[in-house]
Amino acid sequence: MVVRKTKLSDQVYDALKQDILNQIFGFGEKVTNRDLQERYGVSSTPVRDAINRLYHDGFLDKISTSGARIISFDFKIALEVIEVMSMLNREALSLSMKYTPREKVILQLKETLDNQLQYINDDSYFEYDRQFHQLFFDFCGNARIRHIYSQHGVLWLLLVKFYYADKEMTRDRAVLQHQHVFEAYRQGDIPLALRYIDDHFNDAIRPLSRMLARNKETGRPLFGSLV
């Protein structure tokens, strides 16, 4: 795949990120600058920029002058990411109630939920799914929490992809969970909203547990069946 867009570093970043998400490059695999230059049809500078960004995203480790190694993403790391995202979402939801007029947050949450339902069978659904959670961070009044959240965003994309690869984890199910969070928030019942947030993120652990049990029998890596 050759990248032919204006901002090459951004486009190489997006292309490499998608190749990792789609497991074109496997977890723990080493990628070299030279190979990436040939794959995307670009010079060394945008490749180095993309590698540095993905390193800060947590997708790469062991950066060297010749390339980098993709993280060895396993069950433990997946659980840690889920726990961090759950904790951050709980805090952002609580702070948004404290620092932003609730009516303003409710209005935008409702609009995002409506879009999720309208585009539930379209690829744009995933953007509205992301926006639902992002809204609490946009209104939480804490830039440091937003920054930590964004740092884990790319790894969370991988888990969202994995979540929907499980046949039991449907879009309808996720939307219903968002609706529960929304209704509790609309009523000003923060303890109930936080409980629904916990349920929502605990749900993300279930497909991981099922896959782990199956893969222990076959000896395959945890994420070997993502694609």
> Does residue 134 share a domain with residue 199?
yes
Q: Is residue 97 domain-shared with residue 123, that is, in the same domain?
A: yes
Split at pLDDT 50, 70, 90, the class of 68 is very high
Q: Do 51 and 86 have their domain in common?
A: no
Of the candidates 133, 155, 56, which has an alpha carbon nearest to the alpha carbon of residue 87?
A: 133
Please identify, among 70, 91, 117, the residue that sits at the C-terminal boundary of a domain: 70
Q: Is pLDDT above 60 for 224?
A: no
**Per-residue CA distances from 84 to 72, 141, 173, 224 (Å):** 18, 19, 22, 24
What percent of the chain clears pLDDT 90, i.e. is strictly above it?
59
| CB hemisphere CA count around 25 (13 angstroms) | 21
134-166: pLDDT as tens digits: 999 999 999 999 999 988 887 888 788 777 777
- The pLDDT of 197-221, averaged and rounded, is 75
Using the Cα atoms of residue 144, residue 147, residue 149 and residue 155 in order, give the sign of their dihedral: negative
**Most confidently modeled range among 2-11, 33-42, 203-212:** 33-42
Q: Reading across the β-sheet that carries 67-70, which strands appear in turn?
A: 30-32, 67-70, 60-61
Identify which of 94, 104, 153 has the alpha carbon closest to the alpha carbon of residue 129: 153
The structural domain count of the chain equals: 2
Range of the domain at 207: 75-218
Domain boundary residue, one of 51, 70, 89: 70
- pLDDT mean across residues, the chain: 87
- Domain assignment present for residue 54? The answer is yes
Looking at the fold, whether 164 and 113 belong to one and the same domain comes out as yes
User: What 3-state class would DSSP assign to 32?
Assistant: strand
The helix/strand/coil state of 19 is helix
Least-confidence region, from 24-28, 42-46, 93-97, 206-210? 206-210
pLDDT band at 221 (very low <50, low <70, confident <90, very high): low
